[in-house]
């Protein structure tokens, strides 16, 4: 328990840690204010039993009790606010820290870890931590301190009864620690099954179109149901262990209270304790374990806190690329690739590739699917680090740049555009967060999307939904281009940006691409003839190697993949339904 609390405090930021420590310090005063009632009650009872209670003593005792209640309430409110702020701020800052950390992990991390686990850590784990941690710290520390103060005051009345109470408290705390260890295995399984459940639900929701299309409801729902059933089973089993243990521990407190009362009566009857002291001990027997019972009720949750901290630390300790390079402004935007190898795990994707893309020229990568085209473009922007060789920007190895200074030189337009559940204006402004409305509109006009934006119900203030589901594919692409125009980076990477665009949007999209790429270094992956034939350099990639390179006219005079590729595209473009109909 104490080890877990220390682990949580170490996990907190310095400011939040100080808030928790201050709340624990104030908890001592809270306990003292509770204990103030014992001597006040003692004065009243002694006066009543011995017939010497004066009006002045009664007023003083009443004043002490009233003051203790008021002061306890004030301190309790302060400690509650400190711990609540500490818990929620810790979760909030750690969410942002995890998000910032994930910016610098290799892209393969997201494939290996899975979206469900990452999502669960950033949402459920941090939510559990913010809700549970502050309450656990508050109840556990308050309960232990209050109980210890009351036991300490009992030593003034009778050492033996106080020792019984102290022994019972120690047994109780040992019991709760054993309970936590007994729950440990199930708690770990609860966390893992929760991750699986989130992943299955996300997979089901994101793939709902395919599920409906292929009538996969039975199988898909079974997978989701199994993950929910597993989470329910482990959660129920953990709660069962907790409830059984808490029954015995709570019974121990009740029995100890009875023993304290019987000892008080026995000592009073044999003359070793006065009637006043016996009555005070019986009152203390009711007070002493009230706070301790709450410690047990929340102690079982400390394992959850530990799991949450471990999961967050696991995300924060995921290996990142070396991002602590120098702040470099390249002298030119020429990209040079020298003898680069790269593998996903053990599968080699790029094999001894070398080429150069001069500043303000256009390079196109073509070739069969799975050949390594996208991987090459992502290596250029350092989404991964190469296994062997070098990639240079302006004559400097990209690993020597700080990651942020490197990324300032790149803008991307992907085939699968991701738009945020926000206004269109904010989605465009993502390329330049401090841009004003007029600058956003200029970028939208350059990307040929101003007209359709103004036709929407709220114009630039229209909320487009997650992934831009309310827009067509061409509209999403043009917003993505407007976002890249806002960034105004000198190197543009187009990853099949025009692959899935309908004919009605193609001309507008090509105009948008022209606005984006003017006077830039352009790197494109494309299957459309129009976007390839005007490139300054064309690289044909197959099985991770450059098998052909040159201009369009040069490659058309060679026998090989490129000429076959162009022939197939021309044939597909000239295909007519009537031509092949019977």
Query: If you average pLDDT over residues 468-479, what whole number do you get?
Result: 76
284 lies in the same domain as 418:
no
Q: What angle do CA 144, 92, 297 make, to 5 degrees?
A: 25
Whether 523 is in a domain gets the answer no
Residues 166 and 275 in one domain: yes
Query: What is d(CA 254, CA 289) in angstroms, rounded to the nearest whole number?
Result: 8
Residue 283 exposure: Cα atoms within 13 Å on the Cβ side: 18
Across residues 383-409, what is the average pLDDT? 89
On whether both 312 and 420 belong to a single domain, the answer is no
428: domain CATH number is 3.40.50.300
Point out the domain boundary residue: 256, 286, 316: 316
Residue 176 vs residue 555, higher pLDDT: 555
Instruction: Output the six-digit token pair for 331.
Output: 């002298």
pLDDT at residue 163 in the model: 92
Residue 178, number of CB atoms within 10 A of its CB: 12
Q: Are strands 545-550 and 347-357 parallel, antiparallel or unpaired?
A: unpaired
Asked if the structure places residue 403 within a domain, the reply is no
pLDDT tens-digit profile of 42-61?
788 877 777 766 788 788 88
Residue 219 has pLDDT above 90, yes or no: no
* Spatial CA neighbour of 433 closest among 480, 381, 481, 487: 487
Q: Say if residue 563's pLDDT is above 70.
A: yes
Whether 308 and 435 map to the same domain: the answer is no
Residues 417 and 305 in one domain: no
CB count within 10 Å of CB 130 equals 21
**Residue 576: what pLDDT?**
45
Q: Does 164 lie in the same domain as 25?
A: yes
574 against 193, higher pLDDT: 193
Domain shared by 297 and 416, yes or no: no
Assign 582 a pLDDT band (cuts: 50, 70, 90).
very low
Angle, CA of 294, 297 and 298, to the nearest 5°: 95
Quote the pLDDT of residue 356: 93
- CB contact burial 479-510 (16+ within 10 A = b; e otherwise): bbbbbbbbbebbbbbbbbbbeebeeebeebbb
**Cβ-count burial of 218 within 10 angstroms (0-12 exposed, 13-18 middle, 19+ buried)?**
exposed
Please report whether residue 560 resides in a domain: no
Residue matched to tokens 């690993």: 399
- For residue 540, is it within any domain? no
Please enumerate, as own/partner, the contacts of 44-53 that have beta carbons within 8 Å and a separation of 24 or more. Answer: 45/276, 45/279, 45/280, 46/276, 49/275, 49/276, 49/279, 50/276
Tell me, yes or no, whether 516 lies in a domain. no
Work out the pLDDT band at 577, boundaries 50, 70, 90: very low
Give the sheet arrangement for strand 347-357, strand by strand.
Answer: 347-357, 335-344, 388-393, 396-397
Of 294, 316, 338, the residue that ends a domain is: 316
Q: Is the pLDDT of residue 172 over 90?
A: no
Give yes or no: residues 295 and 418 share one domain.
Answer: no
199 lies in some domain? yes
17 and 139 housed in the same domain: yes
Total structural domains within the chain: 2
Question: Higher pLDDT residue, 473 or 371?
Answer: 371
Task: List pLDDT tens digits, range 70-90.
Answer: 998 898 888 888 888 888 888
Task: Read off the pLDDT of each residue in 152-176 and give the average, rounded to a whole number.
Answer: 87
CA angle 199, 204, 206 (to 5 degrees): 95
pLDDT of residue 578: 42
* pLDDT band for position 291 (cuts 50, 70, 90): confident
pLDDT above 70 covers a percentage of the chain that reads 85
Residue at which a domain ends, from 281, 316, 351: 316
Q: How many helices (H) and strands (E) does the chain have?
A: 24, 10
Burial of 435 (0-12, 13-18, 19+ CB in 10 A): middle
- Average per-residue pLDDT in the chain? 80
- Cβ–Cβ under 8 Å, residues 463 and 457: no
In a domain, 162, yes or no: yes
Domain span at residue 225 reads 2-316
CATH number at residue 23: 1.20.1560.10
Q: Do 364 and 532 meet the contact criterion of CB atoms below 8 Å apart? A: yes
8 A C-beta contact, residue 175 and residue 249: yes
Using one digit for the tens of pLDDT, what is the confidence trace for 307-353?
A: 788 888 888 887 777 767 788 888 889 999 999 999 877 788 899 99
pLDDT digits (tens, 9 = 90+) for 92-111: 888 888 888 877 777 666 65
Give yes or no: residues 169 and 311 share one domain.
yes
Beta-carbon contacts of 244 under 8 Å, excluding residues fewer than 6 positions away, are none
Q: Is there a single domain that holds both residue 429 and residue 287?
A: no
Q: Please check whether residue 303 is in contact with residue 180, taking contact to mean a CB–CB distance below 8 angstroms.
A: yes
- Would residue 306 count as lying in a domain? yes
Closest CA to 485 of 439, 426, 434: 439
């Amino acid at each position: 328990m104490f080890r877990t609390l220390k682990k949580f405090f170490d996990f907190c930021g310095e400011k939040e840690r100080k808030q928790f420590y201050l709340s624990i310090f104030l908890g001592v005063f809270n306990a003292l204010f509770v204990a103030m009632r014992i001597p006040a009650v003692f004065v009243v009872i002694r006066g009543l039993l011995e017939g010497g209670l004066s009006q002045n003593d009664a007023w003083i005792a009443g004043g002490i009790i009233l003051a203790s209640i008021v002061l306890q309430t004030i301190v309790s409110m302060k400690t509650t606010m400190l711990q609540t702020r500490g818990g929620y701020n810790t979760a909030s800052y750690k969410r942002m820290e995890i998000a910032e950390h994930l910016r610098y992990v290799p892209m393969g991390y997201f494939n290996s870890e899975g979206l469900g686990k990452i999502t669960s850590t950033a949402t459920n784990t941090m939510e559990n931590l913010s809700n549970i941690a502050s309450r656990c710290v508050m109840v556990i520390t308050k309960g232990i301190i209050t109980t210890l103060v009351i036991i300490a005051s009992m030593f003034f009345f009778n050492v033996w009864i106080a020792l019984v109470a102290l022994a019972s408290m120690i047994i109780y705390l040992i019991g709760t620690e054993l309970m936590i260890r007994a729950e440990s295995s199930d708690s770990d399984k609860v966390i893992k099954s929760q991750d699986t459940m989130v992943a299955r639900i996300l997979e089901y929701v994101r793939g709902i179109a395919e599920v409906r299309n292929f009538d996969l409801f039975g199988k898909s729902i079974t997978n989701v149901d199994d993950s929910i059933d597993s989470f329910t089973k482990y959660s129920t089993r953990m709660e069962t262990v907790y409830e059984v243990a808490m029954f015995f521990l709570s019974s121990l407190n009740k029995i100890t209270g009875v023993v304290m009362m019987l000892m008080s009566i026995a000592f009073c009857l044999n003359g070793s304790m006065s009637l006043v002291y016996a009555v005070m001990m019986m009152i203390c027997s009711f007070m002493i374990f009230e706070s301790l019972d709450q410690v047990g009720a929340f102690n079982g949750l400390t394992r959850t806190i530990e799991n949450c901290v471990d999961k967050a630390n696991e995300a924060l300790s995921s290996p990142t690329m070396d991002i602590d390079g120098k702040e470099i402004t390249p002298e030119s935007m020429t990209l040079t690739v020298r003898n680069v190898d790269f593998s996903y795990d053990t599968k080699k994707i790029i094999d001894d590739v070398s080429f150069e893309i001069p500043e303000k020229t256009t390079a196109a990568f073509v070739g069969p699917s799975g050949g390594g085209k996208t991987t090459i473009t992502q290596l250029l922007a350092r989404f991964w680090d190469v296994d062997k060789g070098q990639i240079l920007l302006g004559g400097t190895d990209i690993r020597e740049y700080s990651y942020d200074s490197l990324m300032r030189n790149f803008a991307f337009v992907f085939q699968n555009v991701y738009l945020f559940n926000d206004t269109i204006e904010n989605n465009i402004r993502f390329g330049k967060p401090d841009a004003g409305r007029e600058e956003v509109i200029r970028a939208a006009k350059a990307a040929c999307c101003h007209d359709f934006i103004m036709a929407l119900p709220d114009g630039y203030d229209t909320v487009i939904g997650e992934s831009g589901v309310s827009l067509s594919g061409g509209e999403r692409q043009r917003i993505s281009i407007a976002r890249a125009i806002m960034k105004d980076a000198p190197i543009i990477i187009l990853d099949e940006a025009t692959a899935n665009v309908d004919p009605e949007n193609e001309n507008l999209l090509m105009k948008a691409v022209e606005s984006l790429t003017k006077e830039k270094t352009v790197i494109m992956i494309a299957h459309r003839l129009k976007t390839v034939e005007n490139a300054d350099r064309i690289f044909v990639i197959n099985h991770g190697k450059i098998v052909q390179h040159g201009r369009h006219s040069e490659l058309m005079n060679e026998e090989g993949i490129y000429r076959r590729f162009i022939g197939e595209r021309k044939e597909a473009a000239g295909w007519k339904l009537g031509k092949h109909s019977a």
